[in-house]
Structure 1
Amino acid sequence: MTFSRRLFATAALAATVVAVGLGTAWAIETTPYSDAAFKAAQSAGQPILIEIHAGWCPTCKAQKPIIDKLAAEPKFKDLKIFRVDFDDQKPVVKGFGAQMQSTLITFKGTTETGRSVGDTKEASIAALLDKSL
């Protein structure tokens, strides 16, 4: 079977469009934490996830694809994810009462609805996120 240049170019373009489209569909927006953005999300009554994260933490690295996958689900379309840097934002970490990285805290508006530390199981992280809805 011989491919013409036009057929090959068309197939390559189609593959690129599909890959870009899929990449966009799964792009999850994680916002660096700021008091102003957090308070605005709380005032709007949004479901919120606070992710206490450290770049060097293997548990945090394991949580990220799970959180990204769950946040891409339609029911979590309004979930606002704020990432708190464990090493650089110590006052914020302390303000949330977190003792260590890999802490996940959910809110529904101004009310804390749950938290977990070191969890890397998709089902229990999903249950935690459900509490924010």
Structure 2
Amino acid sequence: MFQAQLTRKTFTRAVLATALTAMMPLASAFANPVTPYTPSAFKAAQAAGAPILIAIHADWCPTCKAQTPIIDRLAGDPKFAKLKIFRVDFDGQKPVVKEFGANMQSTLIVFKGTAEQGRSVGDTKEASIATLLGKAL
């Protein structure tokens, strides 16, 4: 009886440990969520002096689809824990796209408070996107 209980407890602990280990990569995905752009949220982040990424995104864009997991991975890095990420819908928010001076989707713009620190268009290299994000810190 004692051995059966011990085996059951050991098995349960092993299952829980495995489940928690499998979920660890997901924790970083939720650590720094991408927020749909609104002028008020953007201005609040600027006023707080936060590092900010504006991602001009289109769901149909293959380059944007390639950028998304890279940005998600980098956002999970503790270095970028305070980064505020705002997604601008290229098709649905044309006035905002124009306001940022973007000519196409897959444009990434970083701010440190109110000052633009850099931008890129069509970049899908993790190292250079990380360098761009670093300019906002």
TM-score for both structures, normalised by structure 1? 0.90
Matches within 5 A, 1:1-133: 6-27=9-30, 28-133=32-137
CA deviations on 1:53-92 (whole Å, 9 max, x unpaired) are 0111110011111111112222211100000011111111
- Percent identity, aligned pairs only, is 67
- Size of the aligned set, in residue pairs, is 130
SS in 1 for 2:71: helix
Once residues 108 and 50 of structure 1 are traced to their aligned partners in structure 2, the CA distance between those partners, rounded to angstroms, is 11
Please say which structure displays the higher CA radius of gyration.
Answer: 2
Once residues 100 and 28 of structure 2 are traced to their aligned partners in structure 1, the CA distance between those partners, rounded to angstroms, is 31
Tell me the residue number matched to 2:3. none
Bigger Cα displacement from structure 2, 19-28 vs 38-47? 19-28
- Unpaired runs of 5+ in structure 2? 1-6
Question: Which structure 1 residue ranges, 4+ long, deviate > 6 Å from structure 2?
Answer: none
* Residue 11 (structure 1) shift: 2.1
- Unpaired runs of 5+ in structure 1? none
- Relative to its length, the structure with more helix (as a share) is 2
Bigger Cα displacement from structure 2, 41-50 vs 63-72? 63-72
Q: CA RMSD in A?
A: 1.4
SS in 2 for 1:48: strand
* Residue 6 (structure 1) shift: 4.7
